[in-house]
Each structure stands twice: as C-alpha cells, then as structure tokens.
Structure 1
C-alpha cells in the first residue's frame, strides 16, 4: 500500500542526488535509508535512548559508542539550528527583557498574562 508523506526539500534533494549514484528510484532510496536507520536503531551497539540521555546530560558523551556519537552530533546540530519553541522564547524574554508571545504581543519580565 502506498502513502504520501511530506518531506523537507532538503531531504528530497539529498535523496535525488543519492539515487543517481545508487540507481534506485527516489522512493526506493528513501525506503533504503529508512531500513538502514531501523537496523541501526535495533543494533545492540546502538541505542537512541542513550543518545537522548546524553543530549539531556543524563549520561556522559564519552559513554556513547562511536556510532552513537555520530548521531549525537547530528541531533545536536539540528537542535542548535532549529527555531526555538514558544516556551523557550518566553523564558528568554523573561530573562532578558521585553519579547513577543505566541500571538505577537509584547511581554515583559515577570508578565503572567
């Protein structure tokens, strides 16, 4: 059964470049990557839970395997470049001065409204 899935232009572009090299279709390339990712996550030498624990400073980075460290770096990079959420923006505004809430309203440190 086929389904349509929205994907970022960046991932689709990378998959399009890779499919030219691999000889797979676009869908085939993305499915191939999904199968690899699934296999890695199920590997006894790899634990995504450990990566999440390291990202939240619950375990040391040095305790991760080499493969886990690679994914840790990818996740950290993505998080650093991601748009902060409303809670983070609100906290930052409260700590640094006036800011905007999720409705675009100016908020000031200590505002409870």
Structure 2
C-alpha cells in the first residue's frame, strides 16, 4: 500500500469517523477514505446538479428550487459552515475587551457571572 503525507482533520470529523469506523469494523483512515470515495462519486454523479448547489451556497440560487439530493448536500455544507463559525467565536474575550459584564454556565450548569470593568 502506498503511503501518503499526513493530513490534519478537524476534531469533529475525526471523532465522527472513529465512531463510524467502530460500527463498520474499519480503521479511522479506512472510514475517512470510504467517505471520500462516496463524496467523489456524489460529485461525479449526473443525478446531482452541482452547479445549482454552488449557486445556493454562494447565495445566488434558491434552496427551495433544488431537488432532494441537492438539498441534502446543501444542508451538509451549511452544517459544516455553522460548526466552523461557532468554533471560532469567543464571546467572553469580546465582552472582556469591551469591559462589559456577562454570564455563562459552567459544565455543571451553574451560572457564573463575570463583572465588567465599567
């Protein structure tokens, strides 16, 4: 088997692949390769309108005008984009930088109040 250079994956993708790999008796790399092959075949499929998907994802097309397959692809892309954006948010740092008070829940559900500097 030919070796390939290492690739960094988002933690959520790796964790999902690890869970799926256990269910399907694959290794994590085998599971990721399996998903990559499915994605490649989906993108090459004449039954999926990739141009329409790209238009919706760029804001130039209507989700409601897509077929079921295309809508599923768009929903998957939206889910990835939302997760990526959420992971980059740090409201605590934003509030601290502006001197505003804020509250949050800890892992046990207890409310923690952070006083502002105003």
Instruction: Find the partner of 1:31 among 33, 40, 46.
Output: 33
TM-score (norm 2): 0.62
Specify every segment of 5 or more residues in structure 2 that has no aligned partner in the other structure, as ranges.
86-118
1:39-78 equivalences in 2 (<5 Å):
39-78=41-80
TM-score (norm 1): 0.64
Structure 1 residue 82 displacement after superposition: 3.9
Post-superposition Cα deviations, 1:49-100, rounded to whole Å, max 9, x if no partner, equal 32120123323222212111012122223334544xxxxxxxxxxxxxxxxx
User: Residues 82 and 19 (structure 1 numbering): CA distance in 2 closer, same or farther, change over 3 Å?
Assistant: closer
Q: CA RMSD in A?
A: 2.1
SS in 2 for 1:19: helix
Q: Distance in 1 between matches of 2:83 and 2:23?
A: 29
Specify every segment of 5 or more residues in structure 1 that has no aligned partner in the other structure, as ranges.
84-113
Instruction: Find the partner of 2:10 among 8, 11, 31.
Output: 8
